[in-house]
Chains A and B, each alone.
Chain A
Amino acid sequence: MKTSKYLLILFTLLLGSCTKMLEVQPTASMSAAEAIQDKTGVDRAITGGYNALQAVGSYGRNQIIVEDLAADNLIWTGTTQDYAQIANNLIAADNGVNEGIWGANYDCINRVNNVLARIDDISMTTDERNTYSGDALFLRALSHFNLIGFFGGVPIKTQPTLDLSNIDQARNTMAEVYAQIISDLLDAEQKLPLSRPLGKASAFSATALLARAYLGLFQLNNDPAVAALAVAKADKVINEGGFILAPSYGDLFKGNTTESIFEVAFDVQNSNRLAQYFFPRSLTGRYEISPPDAFIQTFDAIDTSRFNASIAIDSTNMPYGYKYRDITGGTDRVYVLRLAEMYLIRAEALAYSNGSIESIQNDINVIRNRAGLLPVTATDYNELKLIIENERRHEFAFEGQRWSDLVRTKRAATVLNIPEKFTLFPIPLSEMQTNKKMTQNPGY
Chain B
Amino acid sequence: MTEEPFMKKLSFINELRLRASYGLTGNDGIGDFASLGLYGGGYNYPGSSGIAPTQLPNPDLKWETTTQTDLGIDFSLFKDRISLNLDVYYNHTRDLLLDRPVPLSTGFSTISSNIGQLENKGIEIVLNTLNIKKPFSWTTSLNFSLNRNKVLSLYNNTPIDDMGRGGNRVMVGEPVGIFYGLKCLGVDPTTGNLVYADLNGDGIITSDDRTVIGNPNPKFTGGVTNTFSYKSFELSIFLQIVYGNDVFNATNIYLESADGIDQQTIAMVDRWKKPGDITNMPRVGDAYKSSRFIEDGSFLRIKNVTLSYSFNKKWISKIGMKTAKLYATVQNLFTFTKYSGMDPEVNYYGGSSNIIIGTDFFTYPQSRTILLGLNLVF
Contacts and interface: CB of A to CB of B under 8 A. Distances in A.
A110 B107 contact: yes
B105 A102 contact: yes
A31 B37 contact: yes
A197 B309 CA distance: 77
Contacts of A106: 104-107
A50 interface: yes
B233 interface: no
A30 interface: yes
B354 interface: no
Contacts of B56: 161, 163-164
Interface in B37-56: 37-41, 43-56
Interface residues of B, number: 55
Task: Determine the main DSSP class of B at the interface with A.
Answer: loop
B207 A163 contact: no
Nearest to B50: A47
A168 interface: yes
B287 A82 contact: yes
B71 interface: no
B161 A433 contact: yes
B162 interface: yes
The interface size bin for chain A is 35 or more
Nearest to B37: A32
Given A54-B45, A110-B53, A161 B204 contact: no
Interface in B83-132: 101-109, 111
Q: Of residues B52, B58, B167, B289, which shows the largest number of chain A Cβ atoms within 10 Å of its Cβ?
A: B52
A51 B50 contact: yes
A43 B44 CA distance: 11
Contacts of A265: 45-46
Contacts of A438: 103, 105
Interface in B282-330: 285-289
A32 B53 contact: yes
B189 interface: no
Given A31-B39, A51-B50, A164-B111, A269 B44 contact: yes
Interface in A232-270: 265-267, 269-270
Contacts of A35: 39, 51, 53
B46 A266 contact: yes
A374 B161 CA distance: 55
Contact of A47 (B45, B105, B107, B289): B45
A348 B71 CA distance: 78
A420 to B, nearest CB: 15
Contacts of B45: 47, 50-51, 54, 199, 265, 270
Interface string B233-255: 00000000000000000000110
A356 interface: no
A29 B41 contact: yes
Contacts of A30: 38-39, 51
Contacts of A162: 37, 57
B106 A167 contact: yes
Contacts of A77: 260
A103 B109 contact: yes
B102 A78 contact: no
Contacts of B50: 44-51
Interface string B146-166: 000000000010110110000
Contacts of A414: none
A123 B189 CA distance: 71
Contacts of B58: 164
Given A111-B53, A435-B105, A93 B39 contact: no
A81 B165 CA distance: 11
Contacts of A157: 105, 107
B157 to A, nearest CB: 10
A353 interface: no
Given A29-B40, A31-B39, A163-B56, A79 B105 contact: no
Given A26-B32, A429-B162, A161 B104 contact: no
A110 B287 contact: no
Interface string A60-85: 00000000000000000111011011
B270 interface: no
B210 to A, nearest CB: 8
Contacts of B46: 199, 265-267, 269-270
A163 B60 CA distance: 11
Contact of A168 (B103, B254, B288): B103
B140 to A, nearest CB: 43
A84 B103 contact: no
Interface string A159-171: 0111110011100
Interface string B21-44: 000000000001100111111011
A183 to B, nearest CB: 20
Nearest to A91: B287
A309 interface: no
Interface string A408-439: 00000000000000000000111101111010
Closest A-B pairs by Cβ, 9 of them:
A110-B107, A47-B50, A81-B287, A35-B39, A435-B103, A48-B50, A32-B37, A48-B52, A48-B43
Given A35-B51, A48-B43, A163-B57, 6 more contacts: A31-B39, A44-B49, A49-B50, A84-B287, A103-B109, A164-B111
22 contacts: A26-B33, A29-B33, A45-B52, A48-B43, A49-B50, A51-B43, A51-B50, A79-B254, A79-B257, A79-B262, A99-B104, A106-B105, A107-B107, A110-B106, A111-B107, A154-B105, A161-B53, A161-B107, A169-B105, A265-B46, A429-B161, A430-B109
Interface of A: 2, 24, 26, 28-36, 41, 43-52, 54, 77-79, 81-82, 84-85, 92-95, 99, 102-103, 106-107, 109-111, 113-114, 154-155, 157, 160-164, 167-169, 197, 199, 265-267, 269-270, 281, 287, 428-431, 433-436, 438, 443-444
Interface of B: 32-33, 36-41, 43-58, 101-109, 111, 156, 158-159, 161-162, 167, 204, 206-207, 253-254, 257, 259-262, 285-289
